[in-house]
Chain A
Amino acid sequence: MNQPLIANPIYAVICRDLKLALRRRSDALIPLFFFVVVVSLFPLGIGPESETLRRIAPGVLWVSALLASMLSLNRLFEQDYADGTLEQMMFSPASLAMLVLGKITAHWLLSGLPLALLAPVLALQFNLPTSSLWILTVSLVIGTPVLSLIGAVGAGLTLGVRAGGVLLAVLVLPLYIPVLIFGAGAVDASIIGRGASANLSLLAAVFVLAAFFTPFATSASLRIALEY
């Protein structure tokens, strides 16, 4: 375990987190079920007219995806914090930011990617045209990593804090708003018939910025949490 951790910290941490998740499958599956249930509630609450449903579909799917990916955030570091693994990671010669990036990638593979793959199936309930289903998937594939990246900063800041889960939502949701606007905007634009590429490019720009900065912000927040 020691050698790959130094040689390729991101890969080693991803493998470890995926292996851990495979042994506790329900942890990864519950947010997915949450996503399915919440999305299915909207047609019941709003009414079954297909025209209305098509208009609200991008927002509904995106907000539900956002909430579902946030559900698993507070477990991102909690177990490692509780059993001391996180402290060992800080002692390791590998850069903490890279280890954190590995954990975030694993989180995305377990929460964001399944959401993006599941979303087009759920979008069928909302009567979306086929071309928009593609845009929806693409926007979620670009957007959900940003949710994991920004969420990791919040998870680090609220680690071991009273009522951390609710506080995490308060801190992270305002920062998610740009992702929501561009992501839902891309799907919306494709439904109306305008190209989605402008929104997708902006979303990709947000992703690049977040991917560069948030691993450092997260490792800073973890150092603060552990006073290391």
Chain B
Amino acid sequence: MVNWFKFSSPKTFYPLAGKLIPWFGVTAALLSFAGIYVGFFLAPTDAQQGEGYRIIFLHVPVSWMSMVIYLAMAFWAAIGLVFNSRLSAMMASALAPTGALFAFLSLWTGALWGKPMWGTWWVWDARLTSELILLFLYIGFIALQSAIDDRRRADKAGAVLALVGVVNVPVIYFSVQWWNTLHQGASVSLTRAPSMAKVMLLGMVIMVFAAWAYSAAAALARVRCIILEREHHADWLREIEGVKR
């Protein structure tokens, strides 16, 4: 039985993160090569959308991740708020920029997809708008944390904001079912058989895992920087090789 609480202090987590980053990084690189190969060379041309649909292999993973990362951020923020643990708050602020990046990419790839398919870069559709709000929430979280100088207060204030904004995530997820607008319904569902070709689904799933691995690597790398920044006064940092004070 692994004692997970052992890694809840920056001192023990810092080397662990250092060990995990290359694994996640390499996994992300391999999976995205595989996913891109499947997506561009093995997947058939779509009957309705031609070649343009291939952006799905980027669009769907980044959109999912933008939501998952918000939930993860809100989860760590809540843990940090309740148990007053430093590392959880650091995880929350380490996840935010990656989430914002994915939300931005989701909107941008969606625009690139929408132009040839719908004939427009942007419509004020429920899902597009709620994804835009998600990007604003990420930016608000980052802005609030950087505006407060006292780190502990910044952590807690950000946590409250993240928890208030979490109501938006289910709205995005169910928006294609609640409002019947231009954005197509979900292509993949847990409850029924996929409505797309097996190879397409495979490519997408591989890319989703690539996005997961990339997010983990990026967040861990960032949390290491945050640890160095905030714990620069700590003695244990001096004992680690390669860290100059």
* Interface positions of A (Cβ within 8 A of B): 150, 153, 157-158, 161-164, 167, 170-171, 173-175, 177-178, 214, 217, 220-221, 224-225, 227
**Given A170-B140, A174-B137, A221:B160 Cβ within 8 A:** yes
B220 to chain A, nearest CB (A): 27
Q: Is the CB of A177 within 8 A of B137?
A: no
**Which residues of chain B are within 8 angstroms of A178 by Cβ–Cβ distance?**
171
**Given A174-B133, A224-B156, A225-B153, A217:B147 Cβ within 8 A:** no
A24 to chain B, nearest CB (A): 28
A83 to chain B, nearest CB (A): 21
Binds A, one of B5-13, B29-37, B161-169: B161-169
**Which residues of chain B are within 8 angstroms of A227 by Cβ–Cβ distance?**
153
Give 5 nearest A-B pairs by CB, closest first: A174-B136, A224-B156, A171-B140, A157-B157, A174-B133
Count B-side interface residues using an 8 Å CB cutoff. 20
Q: Is the CB of A217 within 8 A of B163?
A: yes
B48-68 CB contacts (< 8 Å) to partner A: none
Q: Is the CB of B156 within 8 A of A167?
A: no
Q: 9 A-B Cβ contacts within 8 A?
A: A150-B164, A161-B144, A167-B143, A173-B136, A174-B137, A174-B165, A217-B163, A221-B160, A224-B157
Q: Which of A161, A214, A224, A225 contacts B147 (CB 8 A)?
A: A161
Q: Which of A167, A170, A177, A220 contacts B133 (CB 8 A)?
A: A177
B158-185 CB contacts (< 8 Å) to partner A: 160-161, 163-165, 171
**Given A174-B133, A221-B160, A163:B147 Cβ within 8 A:** yes
Q: Is the CB of A221 within 8 A of B157?
A: yes
**Which residues of chain A are within 8 angstroms of B148 by Cβ–Cβ distance?**
161
Interface string of B121-161 (1 = CB under 8 A from A): 00000000100010011011001100111000100110011
Q: Within the assembled complex, what's the spacing in Å between the Cα atoms of A224 and B164? A: 15
Q: Within the assembled complex, what's the spacing in Å between the Cα atoms of A164 and B147? A: 8
**Given A161-B148, A167-B144, A174-B140, A217:B133 Cβ within 8 A:** no
Q: Within the assembled complex, what's the spacing in Å between the Cα atoms of A71 and B156? A: 25
Q: Within the assembled complex, what's the spacing in Å between the Cα atoms of A227 and B155? A: 12
Q: A158-B144, A162-B149, A170-B139 are in contact. List 5 more A-B contacts (CB 8 A).
A: A153-B164, A167-B144, A170-B136, A173-B136, A174-B133
**Which residues of chain A are within 8 angstroms of B147 by Cβ–Cβ distance?**
158, 161-164, 167
A81 to chain B, nearest CB (A): 14
**Given A153-B164, A157-B161, A177-B133, A224:B153 Cβ within 8 A:** yes
**Given A157-B144, A167-B144, A177-B129, A220:B160 Cβ within 8 A:** yes
**Which residues of chain A are within 8 angstroms of B163 by Cβ–Cβ distance?**
217
**Which residues of chain B are within 8 angstroms of A161 by Cβ–Cβ distance?**
144, 147-148
Q: Is the CB of A175 within 8 A of B165?
A: yes
Q: Which residue of the partner chain B has the closest CB to A177? A: B133
Q: Within the assembled complex, what's the spacing in Å between the Cα atoms of A163 and B143? A: 11
**Which residues of chain A are within 8 angstroms of B149 by Cβ–Cβ distance?**
162
Q: Within the assembled complex, what's the spacing in Å between the Cα atoms of A170 and B139? A: 8
**Which residues of chain A are within 8 angstroms of B129 by Cβ–Cβ distance?**
177
Q: Within the assembled complex, what's the spacing in Å between the Cα atoms of A178 and B133? A: 10
**Which residues of chain B are within 8 angstroms of A221 by Cβ–Cβ distance?**
157, 160
